[in-house]
Structure 1
Amino acid sequence: MERPIIFSTEMVRAILEGRKTQTRRVIKPQPPNYVDKIYGPEIYEPAIINKDGELVPGKPVYGVYDEWGEWGVKCPYGQPGDILWVRETWIKDAAGYHYRANFNPGMEETVKPTLRWRPSIHMPREASRLFLRVKNVRVERLQDISEQDAIAEGIEWTEEGPLHAHYLDKNICKTGAWLNFTTAREAFASLWDSINAKNGYGWDVNPWVWVIEFELV
């Protein structure tokens, strides 16, 4: 089964370069505060109330649930083996589709100056060029991310001499003004907050997240 998934321009570049093989997405809705353990993801039958008011098994879904069966969520990103087609920033002209991730920041104003980049959310299926096979799905608290997993999220390492080696979070910085961090986890936390904090799911909130491991096909 195929499903769409949105990535920022920098994260598309990380995928193309082979640096990004994981993505974390907020579980919505979040489980109640009293839930401290989540089961799955796996195929299960959520309980539903039929027209007679009886509690009966519902249609099987692939997702997660709590130990009391009072909360559960279907995984919107599918299950292992499914394909995710990537939505990214794009434009179209007479020559076809063009993708912002292919252009260096300094080139964007000189290439296709009469056209405006279109948001990834509006990309149709036919315009997609990247397809990801889901290898594994799990759930965890955001802050449980390991150093290696933060690197797998696309955080980049650079060396500028023995005293100037840092992880970079280029996604939220202008060219030439990147933020430097001593660990990949710190850089990932900054990246995460730049995207999710405004929606109430910042690093300090430590929300439950889907962890999607994938490979480019």
Structure 2
Amino acid sequence: MTDRPILFSGPMVRALLDGRKTQTRRVIKPQPFASGYHDGEIEINVIPASDQYPKAFRFNANAVGGGAILEEVFEPRINAGDRLWARETWQGLSFGDYQPTKSSLCEVRYAATDPCADLDAEARGYPWRPSIFMPRWASRLTLIVTDVRVERLQDISDADSIAEGIEQSAKFQDRYLTPAGDYAVPKVAYQRLWENINGKGAWEANPWVAAYTFTVIKQNIDQIEKVAA
């Protein structure tokens, strides 16, 4: 078991808090056979667990022109059983005068759920700190990884699209909210969410991704065992 940080945007933090998000997909870097010297057809197999590869995936492809079989191994940084502590946009405020502080003895504000999040810093009284700078002690969400898969982005199912945290329409049960504010079927809604987060053309690129399934604990990672004890 390994503890690792993981970044989430504001909408995805809210989905975690609401219980709507139990999966996340991250692009594999580098992509398999990034050099391009293969025939375009890539097969993937799970490598049996071993001391060398606790859980890994083997990509196979034919070299351009036939003959040689190319092989690459991808070993995810994140594995089943790992604990992830969510990093999100935040700020720590000192007690009494509510000034930004880096001390852990402070009041933590979270942009994803702060009612004043959309005000400018002057009106709000403090600036936000980017999620990448959130320390472990300030995190309020812990994810326990239960499964890891590797697949093409566009192979996502409707069920997995919903598990990614898209929000269901209150009026149309088979439609889900997109970042533009309209509604679409699950896979299309997720496509638009992916593009909103990763940029134009990110869906069309159809990269290989690691798909992580997890359970969510609404608690700081270092407080879980203390409360259980």
TM-score, normalised with respect to structure 2: 0.74
Deviation by residue 1:114-173 (Cα, 9 ceiling, x = unmatched): 21111111111111111000010001111111111101101111133x6x9731024xx4
Residue 64 (str. 1) matches residue 65 (str. 2):
no
Q: Which residue of 2 aligns with 1:209?
A: 209
Alignment of 1:1-217 (within 5 A): 1-32=2-33, 33=36, 34=38, 36-40=42-46, 43-44=49-50, 59-60=52-53, 62-67=55-60, 70-76=71-77, 78-95=78-95, 96-104=107-115, 108-109=118-119, 113-160=124-171, 166-170=175-179, 173=180, 178-181=181-184, 183-197=185-199, 202-217=202-217
User: Hey, what's the Cα distance between the residues in 1 that align with 2:23 and 2:47?
Assistant: 16
Deviation by residue 1:77-126 (Cα, 9 ceiling, x = unmatched): x211110010001011114211112224x664289712111111111111
User: Hey, what's the Cα distance between the residues in 2 that align with 1:197 and 1:110?
Assistant: 25
DSSP-derived class of the 2:29 partner: coil
Cα 1:117–1:186 change in 2 (3 A) is same
User: Hey, what's the Cα distance between the residues in 2 that align with 1:3 and 1:41?
Assistant: 23
User: Hey, what's the Cα distance between the residues in 2 that align with 1:138 and 1:41?
Assistant: 12
Q: In 2, are the aligned partners of 1:84 and 1:132 still within 8 Å (CA)?
A: yes
The one-letter amino acid paired with 1:21 is T
Could you tell me how far 1:39 is from its partner in structure 2?
A: 2.2
Q: In 2, are the aligned partners of 1:40 and 1:138 still within 8 Å (CA)?
A: no
DSSP-derived class of the 2:125 partner: coil
Could you tell me how far 1:61 is from its partner in structure 2?
A: 5.3
Deviation by residue 1:43-101 (Cα, 9 ceiling, x = unmatched): 457xxxxxxxxxxxxx545432224673222212x211110010001011114211112
User: Hey, what's the Cα distance between the residues in 1 that align with 2:46 and 2:195?
Assistant: 26
Report sequence identity in percent: 43
TM-score, normalised with respect to structure 1: 0.78
Q: Which residue of 1 aligns with 2:227?
A: none
**Structure 2: which 5+ runs fail to align?**
61-68, 96-106, 218-229
DSSP-derived class of the 1:109 partner: coil
User: Hey, what's the Cα distance between the residues in 2 that align with 1:197 and 1:36?
Assistant: 25
Cα 1:40–1:10 change in 2 (3 A) is same
**Structure 1: which 5+ runs fail to align?**
46-58
The one-letter amino acid paired with 1:81 is G
Could you tell me how far 1:19 is from its partner in structure 2?
A: 0.4
Cα 1:212–1:109 change in 2 (3 A) is same
